[in-house]
Structures are given as structure tokens and as C-alpha cells.
Amino acid sequence: MSDKSSAEKTEKKRRRSPISSPKLKWVSTRLLDDVFTDEVSLFKPHFDVDYEAYLQRLWESNPDIYEILKNTDDLEKARDALYTYLEKAERSVFSLDNDLHILEKSTVRECIRVFRSIIGPINEFRTEFSALDSLWKLARNKRDELDSKISVGFVMEFINLFRGVIGKSNIYLENVQIKKGIPDFLKLKGRDASTVRTEILDDLGSSVQKYFKKYPSGLEDEVVSWRLQNRKKIIRYFKGSQEDWNDYKWHLKNVVKDAQPLVDLIELTNDQREAIEKARKNKIAFGITPYYLSLMDTRLSIGYDHAVRMQVIPPKEYVDKLSEHQADRKITFDFMGEHDTSPVDLITRRYPQIAILKPFNTCAQICVYCQRNWEIERVLEPKALASQKSVDAALEWLDEHKSVGDILVTGGDPMVMKDSQLERILANLSAKNHVYRIRIGTRTPVVLPMRFTDRLMDILTRYHEPPKREIAIVTHFEHSYEITPEAMEAVQKLRKAGMSVYNQQVYTVENSRRFETVKLRRDLKSIGVDPYYTFNMKGKEETSR
Ligand code: SF4
């Protein structure tokens, strides 16, 4: 029996026995199936989100937990009952007749640990949020008593956690042979063991390839040719030329600051248009470079560009939230606690050897989930450059703290500064003997790759003097679809000059489907970028669905 038909059977069985509640009925969404089953025949991402369907799947993912939550009339009793339930679940992992795959058992134990921690009172006290209270009210159908809106992302997290607790994470579903018990190859020796192992690995490998096809990169011929057409349209729209297109200043001059160019050039949903218009009215930073606009699919039905759009088109909830908090924005959205880690203006320090220097407070375009959206006022803000006096004071502070030798120059995006402004800072930092690494945090390889002119490369290479001091670029590709020939050219210039280029990925719903991030990491390596680290969202929900 193939894996697929086995999954279909399970699915049919599940549909035949829904949890008995008059409120719950089966509602199908393509995203659900895309995320939670091994269905890989859909080669494009789909994001038709149905909140009720997710909720239903949540309760179906672990009927025991649902019963506990639904039938307990007191929150503390529900907490006790869940602790008892989790203790039993953990003991069952160690019972003799438990034939779960050894890795699945490990997942069960980890999920139980995480779930215990989430519902622990100390966690609730520290985070000032009770996930248990939310789940309890949802299960008891008391949504009007919820303290805050519960997102689909929250529900999805718990679907996975609930499944994990009972050994149904499905992580090891790809191959029936390794789903349960000890894989056959461990019972064999020598060439026989290797042959059986190879068969299983071939199977897994071809499954990964199928997933990869869902996430094309911008290097693929078909995508390159669509984008060539997009580019021509955009150049015509802004009355430019191919020469202009290659000039980063032209892109900065024509940054899209309202919805109209998008309406004219690509298909937008009404929600997207309204959110942009509301952002404009409420002075919420918004901007897209013409180059980045060329990465968007002209028609919504193509759908590969979901991560690109969500990067810059603010969702309605985000605009509403920022509008509500105009007055206290600087505090409310300082998720990184930068107010409490800044010993002098423009410096943030959280580590013994590393400090952040922020001389420039705007960017070529605005990322929706930017962790600095509390201080970035608008795209290409003319007054974004800090005063010479405060830059000098920040640089002097570094002289007084010689243990700090790794400086991350960021902002905003320092590569949007003029060459001369950037060079002044690099020269000053390089004159400090204790500074051994200057990292420049910039999204320009992704949103403005033509920024890496010969002149800029001359400046960067002048101060890149290994082993005394290195200049490294820290950038932010979010999805394979952002990886283009132009981005590769920019990265290759840096690599050929001996500089490292690192990526920091933000882990969002847009890049977290099965193997989506794996694909990104592989594509990044192919153009010379080292996938460095992954940010978790820390309470920010701008790209939640
Ligand atoms: S480029 Fe960086 S600093 Fe600028 S908006 Fe995006 S995340 Fe924020």
C-alpha cells in the first residue's frame, strides 16, 4: 500500500468519526491539507484560511484534551486534569507495548515538556498570557470571554503540539517502513543493511524533491522570464530605461509609497489595497522598491509570491494595531527591549563582545515584521541619518568599551546611506584596534541588489583586512522566491572580494511549510550565502494568518 493511499484511508476514517459536537462539522481548506498531510500533488502554495476548520482540526487532533477542556468548569481543575493526562501520556512512552518509532517517542516527550511548560503558572505570570485560558474558553465555546483574538497561527501551533503528545506528529510518515518500530536495516548487516537503508533514503529523498517543487526560486528559467516581463512593465510605468533599472538611485527615487502603482501593475486583493491606504493615512511606514515589486506575480492565481507580498504589504490587523498605538508605539513595539539595552544613543548592547550601531533610521523598503518598526518613521525618511554629534558620541563610547570588538552596523539599512556617509563610519571603526569584525546588516542584496556598485565594493574591500578585521554582510532572504540572478550577482561580488555573506531568516507562516526553509537554505548556499540563524517571532504577529 502506498503512503498516499494510507494517508487517504486515515483521512477518510477521521472524517467518518468527527468529535461529537453540534458546532463541529467538516470544512475543507486546501491549506490545511497542504500543511498537515503528505499531499504533494499541489505544486503551489495555497492560503485559503478557514478559522473554523482549523479549530475543528485542533479538537480532532487530540480528543482527550478536548474533552478535558470542554468538560471542566474551572480553569484550575482543567490545569490539574491536563497535568494528570500528560503524566499518563509520558508513562505510556516507556511501556513495553509502545511500538512508536524511537524518534516519534522523543517527539512525544518533547511535546509533553513544552505543553507542561506552556500551561505552567510561572510561564503565564512571566508572559502575562494564559494559553490554557484561551484553549479552555475556545473549547467551552466562550469566545466572547477571550482576552485577545486567537490567531490561526496559535491554533496551528497547538494542533501540532496536541498531535505530538500522542505520537502523531506525522514527521516520520513519509515511509511506512520507518514509521513504526526499528527500521529493517538495523536488523541487517553489511551490504544487505546498506541496500535496505538506501531504498528508504531514496524514498525520503524523492519525497523531499516533490516538496521542493512547490517552492521555486527566482533562479528558475520560467520565473526569470516572467520577471523580465514585469520589469519591462515597471520601467514603462515609471518612464525609465534599462540603464535606469541598473542604477540603484533610480530605484530609490521611484520607491512605491502608495497603493496606486500596485493596483496598476499587479493584481491586489481588496484587503491588501485597503490596508495600504489605511497605512498611508495613519502615517505607518510603507514602501517597496521597483525591483522588489518585479518579484511579485502579476496575478494572484499564480501564488508563488506569498512570502514576497507578505514581506511588504501590511495586513489589516497590523495597520489597525499600529494605528491604535500611535502615541505609545515606541514602547509597545519595542519587542527587543532596546530601550533598556542602549547605554548611549545609537548603541544597543546585549553581549560581552558585540554591540549594535544604528546610524541610519530608514530603509529602501519597509518589512512588515521589522523589529524596529517602533522607531522607523517612514521609508527613505530624509532625516534618517543621525546627527554627526550623536554618531561621534556612539563611536567614542566604543573607545571606552574595548571588550566590544564585533560591531553590527544596522538601522534601518546602512547601505541606503550615501557612500561617503558609510565610508566615514567604516573608517572610524577600522581605526579602532579592538574592532575585529564589522558586520553590516542590510537587506539591499534582496531588495536593491544593484546597490553593490564598483565604488561601494572599493569602499568595503578597503576596510576588509583579514585577519586584522573583517567586513561581513548580514542580510535577510525570507524565501527562495527572493533569490534571483541579480541577488546572486551582488552576493558573488562580495564573496569574490573575500567577504562572508550571512543570512538571518525570520521564521514565519510564509516559509514554514514542510521543507520550505530547507529549500531556502539550499538555494542560499547555491548563490554563496551562509544560512546563519533563524529568528523566532517573539510575540510579533504581523505575518500571522
Ligand atoms: S530592512 Fe531591516 S530594518 Fe529595514 S524595515 Fe526591513 S527588517 Fe526593518
Cβ(372) – ligand 1 distance below 6 Å: yes
Give the three-class secondary structure for 216.
coil
The answer to whether 482 and 308 are in contact (CB under 8 A) is yes
pLDDT of residue 12: 43
Query: Ligand 1 centroid to 90 CA: how many Å?
Result: 43
Query: Ligand 1 centroid to 395 CA: how many Å?
Result: 22
Q: What is the pLDDT along the chain (545 residues), one digit of tens a residue?
A: 334 444 444 444 433 333 333 333 323 333 344 444 434 333 444 455 678 888 999 999 999 999 999 999 999 999 999 999 999 999 998 888 887 878 889 999 999 999 999 999 999 998 889 999 999 999 999 999 998 888 887 898 899 999 999 998 877 654 555 555 567 787 889 999 999 889 888 888 888 898 899 899 999 999 999 999 999 999 999 999 999 999 999 999 999 999 999 999 999 989 899 999 999 998 899 999 999 999 999 998 888 999 999 999 988 888 888 888 877 777 777 777 778 899 999 999 999 999 999 999 999 999 988 877 777 888 999 899 999 999 999 999 999 999 999 999 998 999 999 999 999 999 999 999 999 999 999 999 999 999 999 999 999 999 999 999 999 999 999 999 999 999 999 999 999 999 999 999 998 888 888 899 999 999 999 999 999 988 876 655 666 55
Cβ(101) – ligand 1 distance below 6 Å: no
Cβ(79) – ligand 1 distance below 6 Å: no
pLDDT of residue 172: 67
Residue 86, sorted as left (phi over 0), alpha (psi -120 to 50) or beta, turns out to be alpha
Among the atoms of ligand 1, which is closest to the Cα of residue 363?
4
Cβ(524) – ligand 1 distance below 6 Å: no
Our measurement of the distance from residue 522's CA atom to the centroid of its chain's CA atoms, rounded to an integer in Å, reads 16
- From 255, 284, 357, 366, give the residue whose CB has the most ligand 1 atoms within 8 Å, as the site to mutate: 366
- From 413, 475, 540, give the residue whose CB has the most ligand 1 atoms within 8 Å, as the site to mutate: 413
Q: Which three cell numbers stand for residue 475?
A: 542580510
The residue extents of the domains of the chain are 3-181, 221-324, 334-535
In angstroms, rounded to a whole number, what is the distance separating the alpha carbons of residues 90 and 109? 6
Q: Which fold has domain 334-535?
A: TIM Barrel (3.20.20)
Question: Complex ipTM above 0.95?
Answer: yes
The answer to whether 363 and 411 are in contact (CB under 8 A) is yes
The answer to whether 362 and 411 are in contact (CB under 8 A) is yes
Instruction: Name, in order, each residue with C-beta under 8 angstroms of 266's C-beta and a sequence gap of 6 or more.
Output: 293, 296, 297, 298, 299
pLDDT of residue 10: 42
pLDDT of residue 5: 47
Among the atoms of ligand 1, which is closest to the Cα of residue 285?
5
In angstroms, rounded to a whole number, what is the distance separating the alpha carbons of residues 50 and 31? 9
Query: Ligand 1 centroid to 311 CA: how many Å?
Result: 10
pLDDT of residue 177: 52
b/e per residue 48-62 (b: at least 16 CB within 10 A): eebeebbbbbbbbbb
Minimal-distance CA residue to ligand 1 atom 3? 412
Minimal-distance CA residue to ligand 1 atom 8? 370
- From 311, 372, 376, give the residue whose CB has the most ligand 1 atoms within 8 Å, as the site to mutate: 372
Cβ(412) – ligand 1 distance below 6 Å: yes
- From 367, 415, 416, 473, give the residue whose CB has the most ligand 1 atoms within 8 Å, as the site to mutate: 367
pLDDT of residue 34: 46
Give the three-class secondary structure for 119.
helix
Tell me which residue has cell 505575518.
Answer: 543
pLDDT of residue 476: 96
pLDDT of residue 73: 94
